[in-house]
Amino acid sequence: MSVSFSSGKNFTVGSGPSSIVVKDLNGDGKLDLAVANFTSNNVSVLLNDGNDGFGTPTNFTVGTNPVFLASEDIDGDDNLDLVVANADDNNVSLLLNDGKGGFGTPTNFTVGAHPSAIALADIDGDSKLDLVVANADDDNVSVLLNDSNGGFGTPSNFTVGGNPAAIALGDIDGDGNLDLVVANADDDNVSLLLGDGNGNFGTATNFTVGTYPSAIALGDIDGDSNLDLVVANYGSSNVSVLLNDGNGSFGAAKDFTVGASPNSVVLEDIDGDGKLDLVVAKDTNTKNVSVLLNDGKGGFGTATDFTVETSAAYAAVGDLNGDEKPDLLVANADSDKVSVLFYNSAPTDLMLEAIADDNDDEKAICMFSTTDPDKNDQHTYSLVAGTGDTDNDAFTIEGDSLKIKSDITKSTYNIRVRTTDSGGLSFDKELAINVNELGLAATNQITTIVNFINITENIFTVKSKVKGGKAKLSIKIESSTSKVVNEIGIFIVDDAQGTIDGIAPGAAGYAEAALKRSKIVCSALANAPTGFNPADLPSLLEFDSGANLRFYMVRNSTTDAVISGKTSLSDVVFSSATNVKVEGSETEGFALIWKGVSAGGSDLKIKIKETNEKIPPGIGLQGKHQGELIDLREVKTQVKAEFIVNREASYDNLVGFCKVNDENGGIDSDGDGTVDIRPGDPGYLKAMIRSRVEGIDLKVNNQGTATFSGNFESSSLFAPFILVNTTVEAILSSNSDDLAVFSPFLGANSGKNNHVRLLGNNCFGFEDMKGGGDRDYNDLIVQVKLTVNT
């Protein structure tokens, strides 16, 4: 098996980055970066932004020429602290974490001359992390035991070889005590010092490796449950593998070529086969990092190289984007950048969707799309030889369009198509094109034909008659007599019985699994303002053909509130034969009637039918958590917006839209291309008002209806907000932190309550009272019709 990584994405840090830590530094469940900068004498901390990137670096001053960095919880407060080796100050800096990803003033601990590497572990068995430091100019290592007060004690020194350049801690002899392994650069060997469990180490035993060993890593390479050793040999352009002999020692070194000047090694399962693979960074003009896959025999295969920006000082591995795949990070020694190479997964499916004809000589009849675990990957399409390629010669592919070369001569064509991602990985598929289903034989106009079928009393399946096509549904509220606002959602199940990952309806864990898959459709108001009719407001949704669907209702609350634990799972009512009546047919569509289960004992009726209507622009995030947004990021021209506003409130409120820079509400307030303020940060609400779209200030008299028009810029994301009984000028001039401004982002709202509900496609209902108010979401209702300018 081969592995693939994306081209390096570079992030600015300090000067001369020398070492990297990949840890969750602010406790939000995402991996962040800390980078030691050798030349600028500081550490850069970059917090994960949740969108395949990192925020602006925050720099923390340390000592002179910081050469190595590690991160663990030193003071026992469950926050990860930083420990830095300052090569020219002969000391180590400890920076305690403030719990938010920031760090305090460094406390320095004296060690030996020219500290070159550090390791953190509990070496004396007191459940506190101790510090071991390699002192390059003293030919020894210093051990500093944890003092139980958030620091370290006086160092004890242990002699090793000449110019110790790297250290690692692990239980080599299997006695339950941590042992010490040291790479001695000037002696071309490594020293093993066995630990006694009390913070002391025995006399060094030396093992010959390659020339000028500069980095080491410990891991079970051959699968025998003993820790083996990998050594990067800077002077001999290779790595040495020394397998554990099972008796507290290592066997003879076996060398593997990696390229010039290797100076950093990481052992990690890169290809997911359960065996440790090897990542090697190199201080060389070849500007790459190497990956060597485990050969299953106690060694590694041939190196595969991936390009980075400059010569590499250090490599690290971590899942930065939450796809459960390892990504590579490299400190570029000759620049102020860290390169991130995201794991590239192969495409998993190829689909074909009907499109309208172009009236040119080669008729575009279908459009390709790809299913790929990598959300931002790009794909190219090609006709390839193989099974099912009978009619390849009748077609050409331009971009993502399939074009037929000449007149249609038969009812079915068979082709074989390959989709290839930006990393060179591909997926091939045999496709059958039925021209009658596409309508080509008669009119050259292609219509996506949909079947919407009631499989059981509560499970529906939706199918497109166009091979590879999407199926679209129109869902709208036909009637509701409930006294509270109820939310309607939909989720995909695995079969006609409604199971999810093997969990049957009604079984423990089913509700939680369903809501994790769910998409919010709309909310049914209890008291609609004059002039607003929810029956005129369909929600259009698109699904893969063959999807099995089930509906649910949340009584007087939201899906988000249930998932967060604010609302009980007992308020989620799944469609079933006992509580939902199904009316209608496959030709007329179906109605789902919740039979008196909503609060107040009243019924709710929604109408569902297949449709060929075009999915409106802007709804890509709607239905997701905090997804009451207008998403125009894929639109390349200006968008015209027409607004209809209704009101049922005594307050004189105003609704506007602000530009945000990611789906979590981050705002680039200074225009430098980087998010610098997020929901919940001081000043966020004012930043939101300042980034509002000028000219879209939506107001109406109580029980009135008003229309407005405006424009949204292309390639952007917009969030609605409500100003309660105040003005833009009053908010911006206020000195209070308690502002009457609410948005879809719960972290920005006082009390973190929901004040914006999705009533349908591009239709938002607002609650204007603090603390969640009466939760009627009819104080202002804004419908938005978007037209993409051509």
Q: How confident is the model at residue 601 (pLDDT cuts 50, 70, 90)?
A: very low
Cβ–Cβ contacts within 10 Å for residue 234, how many?
22
The pLDDT mean for the chain works out to: 88
Tokens 């320095």, residue located: 108
Higher pLDDT, 135 or 332: 135
> Residue 100 pLDDT more than 80?
yes
User: Which parts of 246-394 are beta strand (E)?
Assistant: 254-257, 262-268, 277-282, 288-292, 304-307, 312-318, 327-332, 337-341, 349-354, 363-371, 379-383
pLDDT of residue 238: 94
pLDDT score, position 790: 65
More confident of the two residues 188 and 449: 188
pLDDT band at 444 (very low <50, low <70, confident <90, very high): very low
First to last CA, the chain: 46
Confidence category of residue 445, pLDDT binned at 50, 70, 90: very low
Compute the average pLDDT of residues 41-61: 94
With a cut of 50, say whether residue 162 has pLDDT above it: yes
Q: Which residue blocks in 464-601 are alpha helix, DSSP H?
A: 510-517, 559-564
Least-confidence region, from 172-181, 242-251, 342-351 = 342-351
102 CB burial (10 A radius; 0-12, 13-18, 19+): middle
- Cα(629)–Cα(517) distance, integer angstroms: 19
Q: What is the pLDDT of residues 688-723, one digit of tens each?
A: 999 999 999 999 999 999 999 999 999 999 999 999
Across residues 583-605, what is the average pLDDT? 67
β-bridge partners, 779: none
- Measured CA to CA, the distance from residue 178 to residue 174 in angstroms comes to 9
Position 287 confidence tier, pLDDT thresholds 50, 70, 90: confident
Question: By mean pLDDT, which of 270-279, 494-503, 555-564, 622-631 is the weakest?
Answer: 555-564
- Residue 148's Cβ-count burial label (10 Å; 0-12, 13-18, 19+) is exposed
Residue 478 has pLDDT above 70, yes or no: yes
pLDDT of residue 443: 34
pLDDT at 76 exceeding the cut of 50: yes
Looking at per-residue pLDDT, the higher value among 629 and 614 belongs to 629
Question: Please, which pLDDT band fits residue 95 given cuts at 50, 70 and 90?
Answer: very high
Contact between 161 and 137 (Cβ < 8 Å): no
Q: Is the pLDDT of residue 458 over 90?
A: no
User: For the chain, what percent of residues have pLDDT higher than 70?
Assistant: 93
Among the residue ranges 115-124, 347-356, 552-561, the one predicted with the least confidence is: 347-356
Q: Which residues are CB-contacts of 170 (< 8 A; sequence separation ≥ 6)?
A: 178, 179, 181, 218, 227
The predicted pLDDT at position 611 comes to 80
Q: What is the mean pLDDT of residues 392-411?
A: 82
Asked whether residue 725 carries a pLDDT value surpassing 90, the answer given is yes
What local confidence, expressed as pLDDT, does residue 323 receive? 83
Cα Rg of the chain, angstroms: 31
Q: What is the pLDDT of residues 294-315, one digit of tens each?
A: 999 999 999 888 888 777 778 9
Average pLDDT estimate for 470-494? 87
Q: Which two tokens stand for residue 227?
A: 């820790």
Tokens representing 53 are 């990137």
- Asked if the model's pLDDT at residue 440 lies above 70, the reply is no
Least confident range of 3-7, 276-280, 360-364, 645-649: 360-364
The residue ranges of DSSP E strands in 648-735, in sequence order, are 654-660, 705-712, 716-723
pLDDT at site 54: 94
Least confident residue range of 83-87, 306-310, 565-569, 671-675: 306-310
CA distance 552 to 790: 39
**pLDDT higher than 80, residue 743:** yes
Going edge to edge, which strands form the sheet with 81-86? 66-72, 81-86, 91-95, 107-110
Would you state the pLDDT for residue 537? 81
Residue 784 has pLDDT above 90, yes or no: yes
